[in-house]
Amino acid sequence: MSSSIICDDVDGMETERNDTTLTDLTMTEDTAVSVPSNGAVSSKDVNPKKLHTVTVCMVPPPENVHIWETVSQLRHQLRDPGYFRWPPHVNLLYPFLQLDREASWEGKDSEWTLDGIVQRLEAATATIPPFHVHLNRFGTFGGTNRGVLWLHPDSTPVVVGACVDVASTARSPPLIALQETLEKAFPMCRDQSQKGEQGRFVPHMTVSHFPSRDEALNAQETVQHILDSSSCCDLTFLVDRIYLLERMGDYGQFLRVAEIALGTSSVHSASEGSSTVKTSILEPPQPFPGMPDVEEDWVYAERMKMKERRRKGNRRSKRRDQSN
């Protein structure tokens, strides 16, 4: 059964990946914003802009140094074109809304400013308690013209003593439930689930991109031992927050604009190795500690190679459309 999912924005183009084919779509930086002719704007009238330079995502908290080092090793070894631009992440809402620091026109509802968006995110995440994620296996997307190797983020509820919250186990895995809850809060940002198999969200942490799915599978064989090794057997971390990230410019890196805590209580036990997590807006936006400071030449070269492959694929698609 085929599925298609919006890929990470690595080179300034939106890509739709499919099990049998990968179709390139020229990236549009936003969708239309409707403003009534009388100039009065309400939340019902506004269709907020969606950008591929903004995302709501899950990232291993920076204190999980072992997770960051292992995933970065995989991405570096497999020459990931997004190595500089993206942290290790799982997109939850992508593309996401333009982040206006203040109302951009008179009468605009404050719910679509940065503060309003963060408040709406926080209200949604308050219903989802912190949970564990285990990066336990590889997966691939793609076809003859494109391939993606990714890690599967298996999510499970936090065990309290000898018990697990029965209510939390009765529904979807926590990461799936989190994404569904966020989509309900932002119904205009359903791209991740609508492009998934049977209209479902497929969580994935991209490791690298390849010219074909076969090459992605070959790459998996070369790095499987890293995932299987005793030093990496427990790639498990606590998810107690999600991130709102934004990238500025073609050469920019996705930076932390806000951290949004999960659950109604943000204090976790010392055994989890975490401290108090509070929802906060970072001004100015901050890079993740484990990210490279500059885009090295090899990363830029790989990014340009992928951009060219996508352009060729787009031209092929147009020729097929014209011949039909």
pLDDT tens figures, 102-114: 755 454 567 789 9
Assess whether pLDDT exceeds 70 at residue 143. yes
Per-residue pLDDT band for 29 (boundaries 50, 70, 90) equals very low
CB 281 within 8 A of CB 118: yes
The Cα–Cα gap between 316 and 125 comes to: 42
Name which of 320, 314, 324 is nearest 22 in CA terms: 314
Assess whether pLDDT exceeds 70 at residue 50. yes
Predicted confidence at residue 84, as pLDDT, reads 98
Assess whether pLDDT exceeds 80 at residue 96. yes
Domains of the chain: 4-323 (3.90.1140.10)
Predicted confidence at residue 112, as pLDDT, reads 86
Q: What is the DSSP letter of 293?
A: S
pLDDT digits (tens, 9 = 90+) for 217-249: 999 999 998 888 756 668 999 999 999 999 998
DSSP helix, strand, coil percent of the chain (3-state; round to 5)? 30, 25, 45
Tokens of 37: 């002719």
Assess whether pLDDT exceeds 70 at residue 20. no
Tokens of 154: 């298996």
